[in-house]
Amino acid sequence: MDFRSMSLVVVLVTSFFVFNVGAKSIDPYKVLGVDKNASQREIQKAFHKLSLQYHPDKNKAKGAQEKFAEINNAYEILSDEEKRKNYDLYGDEKGNVGFDAGHPGDHAGYTYFTGSGPGSSRFSFRPDEWQTMGGQGGSKSFSFSFGGPGGQSSFGGFGLNDIFSNFFGGNMNSGPQFGGFGSSSGSQKGFRGSSKSISSINSQIFKKDIADQGMTWILFFYQSKGNQHYEFVIEEVANSLSGAVKAGSINCESELSLCKELDINARRTPRLYVYSYVASESGSLVEYTDDWDVRNLKSFCVEHLPRFSKRVDVAHFDVLSGSASKLPRVMLLSTKKDTPVIWRVLSGLYRKRFIFYDVQVQDVSDTRVKKLGVDALPAVVGWLANEEKHILKQGISVKDLKSAVNDLSGLLEAFERKNKKAASTQAKKPQTESADKHIPHLTGSNFDLYCRESTPVCVIGAFRSSRAREKLETILTSVSQKSLTRRKMGTGSSDSVSYALLDATKQPAFLKSFHESGFKSKDKIVLAYKPRKGKFAVLVDGITSEEVEKFVGSVLNGDVQFSKIRPKPKVK
């Protein structure tokens, strides 16, 4: 390099630094109107407020679109820890000293003159180009660009690293990088990938983690760039409903086949859907078309949470509905007028593994609550497939939805294992096992379950001695297995029958509801009780398997005369 060329290089490099010191950059803090010590929450709120104000869909004023792009650019910098740190240190989000902080659109060029008159050197600057322009006198011109592929820069025929090594004794790739030299600026992403609340979704993830999995998802479909405003709203909702919903983004440009399969076109404008279980048990996409507002979107998501829990009346703990199923049953007792969010979430996640119920109660003083053995609300009570009752948890505290869902999920998992173990144990027992395992004994805690109003006929064998009990157990077990009189709980058929035993010596008031004497002279009787109509028929003599079978058959055929009970029967 001759002395004249070296002089031009020195002038060029010196001018580069002089220009950058004086260059005006856009301050993202000022754009969003926040302090430099602002928290991410404050930055998000400021961005959300301004983006709503200047969004092109709402603000048609001149300059609104440019302002909106400026706001998005500022948020892109300050919402990313690394970019924000670089800006605070070097004045540029990429670690480039003195450069404009990424104002969107084409930047106006700047010209810097090193002297005046013919032959003076002039440098023209744009974000991607520097060039020396020879004036009169035929001065040589040099040009270089930065931020190109691989961050390679050129300066005439000399590499910038060589020049800086010669002049400053170091390599430009070490330490802070200037002007984009030695680094790649990268391509702008349509949806910021640093978000922890929003997952990037492809076809495989959709099929494995979303479709028919029981969890409600917010799904954002996009193809164009600049979606920070949408991202903010989705993040806010996903964070506020953490544990109840998940959020994902689908780039229809790179996931074209998935978007076509779902029949979603996001080419012109982004689309937002909720994977809902309200209209279909297997789940379906429901589009959100309201304003991009956190409150509205949150309400929409809550509306589309699963509803697989059956709401039952406090007077009827109808947990035996569908008892033919081998699935365990769980019921939530709370003071809420509607099914709580946490229970709706769990009913979606475990809808194929449990039968869900929920009931509103006033307080623990309710007699029906006491019968279940519950001392504190909210409470979860479970029944195994063999109808064995368990109190899973009571006095539940829900300070954090996500942790509460996880805690109750653990309880359900453990209860499911208990149910499988009980079923396995039952299967291994010999068929000759005592019949009282098949015919339940009525008590105060289970009477409303076996003889509830939704049961058309409840057949009760009442006994006063152990010998009578054994005989009734054998008879009712045999009769209940006959095709005509088989127990058909939960089938909804008009001939549904439940069978139970009652110790008349411990429940004298119960039989007095059917007869003033309480049938004291009888060692055993068989009652056919219709809870809904408050009527009964009784078989007091000739109690054999054949006679009881005929009796139950006549009851179902309507060939038996029924009488009205006096006070409603109660079991202590």
Same-domain status, 296 and 351? no
Quote the pLDDT of residue 66: 86
| Same domain, residue pair 422 and 451 | no
Are both 386 and 527 inside the same structural domain? no
**Which of 84-88, 195-199, 268-272, 482-486 shows the highest mean pLDDT?**
268-272
In the predicted structure, residue 339 carries a pLDDT above the cut 70: yes
Regarding pTM above 0.85, the answer is no
Q: Which two tokens stand for residue 26?
A: 């856009």
Look at 562 and 135; give whichever has higher pLDDT.
562
What integer pLDDT is reported at residue 21 of this predicted model? 41
Least confident of 5-19, 189-203, 387-401: 5-19
Q: Assess if residue 179 is contained within a domain.
A: no
Q: Quick check: 498 and 487 in contact, CB under 8 A?
A: yes
Q: Which residue has the higher pLDDT, 360 or 100?
A: 360
Q: For 103-109, what is the mean pLDDT?
A: 36
Do residues 199 and 219 make contact, with C-beta atoms less than 8 angstroms apart? no
| Spatial separation of the C-alpha atoms in residues 46 and 32, rounded to whole Å | 6
DSSP H or E run through 126: strand 122-126
Residue ending a domain, among 393, 428, 463, is 428
pLDDT digits (tens, 9 = 90+) for 214-244: 999 999 999 987 777 788 899 999 999 999 9
Cα–Cα distance, 462 to 235 (Å, whole number): 63
Report the candidate in 196, 15, 205 with the shortest Cα–Cα distance to residue 98: 15
pLDDT score at 124:
36
Most confident of 6-20, 162-176, 441-455, 544-558: 544-558
* Count of structural domains within the chain: 4
- What is the CA 180 to chain-centroid distance, rounded? 42
Q: What letters, b where the CB count within 10 A reaches 16 and e where it falls short, cover 235-271? A: bbbbeebbbbbbbbbbbbeebeebbeebebebeeebb
Phi, psi of 246 (to 5 degrees): -125, 160
Q: What radius of gyration do the chain's Cα atoms show?
A: 39
- Residue-wise pLDDT tens digits, 250-290: 999 999 999 999 999 998 889 999 999 987 788 999 999 99
Q: Do 443 and 418 have their domain in common? A: no
Per residue in 39-48, pLDDT (tens digit) is: 988 888 888 8
C-beta of residue 268 within 8 angstroms of C-beta of residue 237: no
Task: Using the predicted structure, report yes or no on whether residue 326 has a pLDDT greater than 50.
Answer: yes
Residue 418 CA to its chain's centroid (Å) = 27
Share of the chain above pLDDT 70, in %: 71
pLDDT in tens, 443-490: 877 887 788 777 888 999 999 998 999 999 999 988 887 755 554 433
Digit-coded pLDDT (tens) for 505-541: 888 888 888 888 888 888 999 999 988 888 999 998 8
Q: CA nearest 502: which of 536, 532, 533?
A: 536
Do 340 and 242 belong together in one domain?
A: no
For residue 316, the model assigns a pLDDT of 57
Question: What would the two tokens of residue 337 be?
Answer: 């007028």
On whether both 329 and 397 belong to a single domain, the answer is yes
Residue 127's pLDDT is: 33
Q: Give the CATH number, domain containing residue 24.
A: 1.10.287.110
Final residue in a domain of this structure, among 251, 276, 303: 303
Q: Parallel, antiparallel, or unpaired: how do β-strands 497-503 and 524-530 relate?
A: unpaired
The residue among 94 and 406 whose pLDDT is bigger is 406
**Domain termination site, one of 272, 303, 334:** 303
160 vs 158: CA distance, rounded Å: 6
Within a domain: residue 133? yes
202, part of any domain: yes
Asked whether residue 415 falls in the same domain as residue 446, the answer is no
Between 342 and 102, where is the model more confident? 342
Separation CA 444–CA 507 (nearest Å): 10
CA atoms within 13 A on the CB side of 496: 22
**Is the same domain home to 164 and 19?**
yes
Task: Report yes or no on 480 lying in a domain.
Answer: yes
Q: Does residue 198 contact residue 247 with C-beta atoms inside 8 Å?
A: yes
pLDDT mean over 330-340? 93
Determine the angle formed by the axes of helices 228-240 and 294-303, rounding to 10 degrees: 50
Domain of 120, in residue numbers: 3-168
pLDDT digits (tens, 9 = 90+) for 355-384: 999 999 888 888 878 888 899 999 999 999
E-state strands within 384-510 = 389-394, 457-463, 497-503
Any domain includes 236: yes
257 and 341 together in one domain: no
Q: Are 162 and 256 within one domain?
A: no
Q: Contact 216/274 with Cβ under 8 angstroms? A: yes
Do 351 and 470 share a domain, yes or no? no
Which residues are CB-contacts of 542 (< 8 A; sequence separation ≥ 6)? none
Please report the pLDDT score of residue 205 as a whole number: 96
| pLDDT at residue 112, rounded to an integer | 35
Backbone angles phi, psi at 312, to 5 degrees: -115, 160
Residue 145 burial by Cβ neighbours in a 10 Å radius (0-12, 13-18, 19+): middle
Is residue 479 in some structural domain? yes
In this structure, are 485 and 545 located in the same domain?
A: yes
Please report, for the domain that includes residue 385, its CATH number.
3.40.30.10
Strand order across the beta sheet in which 563-564 lies? 497-503, 457-463, 524-530, 535-539, 563-564
Q: Is residue 546 part of a domain?
A: yes
pLDDT at position 485, please? 54
150 pLDDT more than 60: no
**Residue 178 is assigned to a structural domain of this protein:** no
